[in-house]
Structure 1
Amino acid sequence: MTRAKAEQRGRRGETVAAWWLRLFGWRILGRRVRTPMGEIDLVARRGRTIAFVEVKTRANAHELALAIDRHRLTRVAAAANALAPRYAMRGEDIRIDVVLVRPWALPRHIANAWHG
């Protein structure tokens, strides 16, 4: 797959993930938020919880199973730590979630995917 196709697939997956989260009461506060430590795909709020969301889009379940690992989540955690003061100003709970997207299947939302 070319870089452009992968980028396009990733953007589509982020859109699907954003709509999926909205269906469950989340409000999207930011998309593709950049920091020196990396990028956060989605920042979402529901009640007093702020979720920094990593979205992975793959062609099948096997590829999705390999898409998230400790190294990737460490990068997301560092970026989330840099962004926390911007989004969690009133003592909200902060967590890192993952949404897995593949064709012809409902997205899978993994809450609290990072436990430090």
Structure 2
Amino acid sequence: MSSNDELTVPQRELAEAWRRTLPERLRAGDQAEISEDEKHPDTLLVSIQSAGRSDLEFDFTVKYVDSREIDIQLTDVERDGRSVDERTDVMQELIEDYRRHLHECAQALHHFTHA
């Protein structure tokens, strides 16, 4: 199924735009690293380090379904480099919070991705 609303922005430029925009959407002190997924040109790898949350790091893949819509998958949650159970209520709240921030970032970049 082909869509005429495909993402046409080069992945490197998309990652740069996310690096500029996502920190504005996160809580003060949270940090994010964004890199290109070399296997998938429509996907970014996002790692968010929580401020003041005992060294928690959340890893997501952000895949562009089209030029506006993204699909977010949580790939890992770590504390001090070790995987932790993300099924607790506190973790689920943090994950949903970060998912919302990722959607907000994608929305803020609509002008850039929807040429």
Same fold (TM over 0.5): no
TM-score range relative to shorter protein: 0.3 to 0.5
User: What TM-score does the superposition give when structure 2 sets the normalisation length?
Assistant: 0.43
Structure with more helix by fraction: 1
Rg (Cα) greater in structure: 2
Compute the TM-score of the two structures, normalised by the length of structure 1.
0.43
